[in-house]
């Protein structure tokens, strides 16, 4: 029996696409949920025949927190994959659903939304990508896997981020493969 995966994403969906295309994973992607109605990831999911939902933050954060838990619970995922989802998930969510996140830095260095820019401003010679368990903090959950990416002379935020994304796509798939045997399955 396959594991049920739900993907959360806010943007272009290149990380989600890597998971969608990963034939080596024994998974069923049960849905892609986004907080952005125009996110490219929704088109990618639709093309792959995966159900999509949009849950924008319109009202109070408390109402949104309850709504995302209810919507995700309806799909009974074994694992939630945050693939470029630019929202902090509520503690009730991460306590209920095993959730991993891909982050474009070598955590614990450079947490938050501007990791690539922060790494460049710090002048590091090596940065990378981390896949970690999501907890109630911002990029503070236990690290599962990491890969280094060198910072090249002349790198700007866009060029460095693009090289990190290439590594990130492979690492997210490898990490899912690594943790699948440890997960409970929902039937």
* Alpha helix positions (H), 76-129: 91-96, 115-122
Neighbours of 144 (CB within 10 A): 17
Look up the CATH number of domain 3-103+131-146+169-182.
3.40.50.170
What residues does each domain of the chain span?
Answer: 3-103+131-146+169-182
Active site residues: 103
For residue 57, pLDDT beyond 90:
no
pLDDT in tens, 128-172: 999 999 998 999 999 999 999 999 999 999 999 999 999 999 999
Question: What per-residue confidence (pLDDT) applies to 166?
Answer: 97
This prediction has a pTM of 0.95
User: How confident is the model over 108-137, as a mean pLDDT?
Assistant: 97
187 pLDDT tier (thresholds 50, 70, 90): low
Contact at 8 Å (CB) between 109 and 121? no
């Amino acid at each position: 029996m396959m594991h049920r995966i739900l993907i959360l994403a806010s943007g272009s969906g290149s990380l989600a696409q890597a998971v969608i295309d990963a034939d080596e994973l024994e998974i069923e992607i049960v849905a892609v949920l986004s907080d952005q109605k125009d996110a490219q990831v929704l088109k990618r999911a639709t093309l792959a025949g995966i159900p999509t939902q949009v849950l924008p933050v319109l009202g109070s954060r408390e109402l949104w927190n309850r709504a995302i838990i209810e919507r995700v619970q309806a799909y009974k995922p074994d694992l939630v994959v945050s693939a470029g989802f630019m929202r902090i998930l509520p503690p009730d969510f991460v306590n209920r659903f095993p959730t991993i996140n891909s982050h474009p830095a070598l955590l614990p260095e450079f947490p938050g939304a501007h990791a690539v820019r922060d790494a460049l401003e710090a002048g590091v010679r090596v940065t990378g990508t981390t896949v970690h368990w999501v907890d109630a903090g911002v990029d503070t959950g236990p690290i599962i896997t990491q890969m280094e990416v060198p910072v090249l002379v002349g790198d700007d935020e866009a060029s460095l981020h693009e090289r990190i994304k290439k590594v990130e796509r492979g690492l997210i798939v490898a990490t899912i493969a690594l943790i699948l045997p440890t997960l409970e399955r929902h039937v």
